[in-house]
Amino acid sequence: MSRPSALAAAVLAFSGCWCICAADVGDFAPCLQFFYKSWPPKGLAGTPICQRYYNQYRFATLYSRPRRSPWFSAYVYSVPAGKRPTACWKFEPQLAYPGAEGSMIPFPPGPVDQNVVDSQAVELDYINSTYSRGHMNPSLHHQSHEDRAATFTLTNVVPQKAGSNDGPWEVLEWTINKTLEAYCLGEAYVVTGVIPYRIDERWLKDHRVAVPEYIWSAYCCPNYNNSLPEELKDAFPTYAAIGRNDRNSSEEIVPVSQTAKKQFRGYDVRQMPLETLEVYLKDRFNTVVSVFYEQCG
């Protein structure tokens, strides 16, 4: 049996490889618990993935097959503990083979099955590119080792400039972490997604993986501490932000701070009400996009 055929057989035959993990593709029904009021965002079309790891659902992703990257990932925040797991990048076999059991499988050290390459991003797409792997659902926002490790699948990342990923966007993720840990009294539902270019899409490796112009994030925490400091009065029950992923984009959506460090300049993040985010999403997607049920009201 040839190596690609052997890999295809392995994909169809078992779910573990080096870890016990699985994913369900095509329906959000098994993982509605990651959405406020069990209500996924409305207005965006794609392939639902319920991301399962160690026989538990960990988060949900709306995946774009043509773009080979997610439109968004949705998850429930938990206070992080322990060190960031070592990256073990995985792929989703059900995107390549609908009859597969559905396990996330770590990429093999050698050639990757062509059906996998055709259906989704692979590690070679990012190697020697000018983009990092930007998590939609970040490892930082989870407590257990399993929840954190489950975020390392290429169906959960987009091409993100290091100036954003290691700069203002990282600051945003830490800010959300500290804010929710300190003041959210119940569950906090988070959705993080992308905004494509209006024209002239950018791609990795000759139309392999679409590069977003902006990355956005929003959370919904309906039960929170009412004794908020003045600077956080507008941060509950919802909060939203948009970050630049192209330093040459216009400043219409996110202005550029000229005082930022050189390596981070042009990758600013703008905080805003959820309603403002949805206005920008409507404008770019040419349809009404609703992130949370009744805007987390």
Exposed/middle/buried for residue 7 (C-beta within 10 Å: 0-12, 13-18, 19+)? buried
Residue 27: what are its φ and ψ, rounded to 5°?
A: -155, 135
Report, as an integer, the average pLDDT of 153-163.
97
* Model confidence at 113: pLDDT above 50: yes
Q: In residues, how long is the chain? A: 297
Calculated CA dihedral for residues 121, 32, 42, 224, nearest 10 degrees: -110
Domain ranges for the chain: 32-290
Cα 167 to Cα 257: distance, rounded to the nearest angstrom: 13
The predicted structure's pLDDT at residue 8: 53
**CATH of the domain spanning 32-290, picked from 3.40.50.720, 3.40.570.10, 3.40.50.300, 3.20.20.70:** 3.40.570.10
Confidence (pLDDT) at 5:
47
Backbone angles phi, psi at 23, to 5 degrees: -145, 145
Give pLDDT, residue 52: 85
Q: Is the pLDDT of residue 287 over 50?
A: yes
Average pLDDT over residues 266-270: 98
Largest CA distance in the chain: 66
Q: Is the pLDDT of residue 242 over 60?
A: yes
Note the pLDDT of residue 267.
98
pLDDT digits (tens, 9 = 90+) for 195-232: 999 999 999 988 999 999 999 999 999 999 999 999 99
CA dist 211 and 200 (Å) reads 11
Residue 104 pLDDT: 80
Which structure tokens are listed for 43? 């207005």
pLDDT tens-place string over residues 10-30: 554 433 343 444 448 899 999
- For the segment 69-84, what is each residue's pLDDT rounded down to a tens digit? 999 999 999 998 878 8
pTM for this entry: 0.92
User: What is the pLDDT at residue 85?
Assistant: 82
